[in-house]
Amino acid sequence: MSETLASFRLTRGQIAWRAAQDIPEGAYVNLGIGMPVACANHVPAGREVTFQSENGILGVGPRPAKGAEDFDLINASKDPVTLLPGAAIVHHADSFAMITGGHLDLAILGAFEVAANGDLANWSTGAARVPGVGGAMDLAAGAKAVWALTTHVDKAGRPKLVEACDMPLTGAGVVKRVFTDLAVIEVTAEGFVLREMVEGIDVEALRALTGAPLHVPAAPARLSPPADL
């Protein structure tokens, strides 16, 4: 990506903030490792959301203040967390029963690739050796909806939103919405539909960075998160 375009990209914190704004009132939500766990820090004031961590927490709160961390209390990313009033600590098997039993309204996951039909690849690039898929496939299959958080292109400038995934799939046809460092995109029966995009680039520039057709049925809203994230 050129230096000019790089200056418009959202930070990881800004991507997590934007996704958190769309989490509906009363939702039960799993946050995947990496970028998604930061969504717990950005839920709008007054909105009740219950976050679940697959290692056995229901009712995850924001990250604790520096110096107040308890490293016996961590999420699936091994980051220290707080507990909200009414939170529960459960056995790992019970945590996965919540996931596979269809009790989660939403899973917010990272992504290596998202295909235009909603296929998700997020557990292996196909080349790197990883210990295993973990809970990613359970979440992709068990949650009522899946959102993906990712950069629009990889470090080599290759699109991560593609016509068909080349990497091993985590789930087929599961992703409903994608939040990138450049745009918010819905995954529909027609493919990728642009809803929001950052200031400083135009639709054609965004299309050039997207590896599948990008439909623009109306003028996209501008994506303007807080600057200090």
3-state helix, strand and coil shares in percent for the chain, rounded to the nearest 5: 20, 30, 55
CA distance 54 to 142: 12
CB 79, CB 70: distance < 8 Å? no
Mark whether 204 is an active-site residue.
no
**Token duo for residue 111:** 């992504």
Indicate which residue of 3, 25, 48, 54 is catalytic. Answer: 54
**Exposure on the CB side of residue 78, measured as CA atoms within 13 A:** 0
Token pair in block for residue 119: 């296929």
Residues classed as catalytic: 54
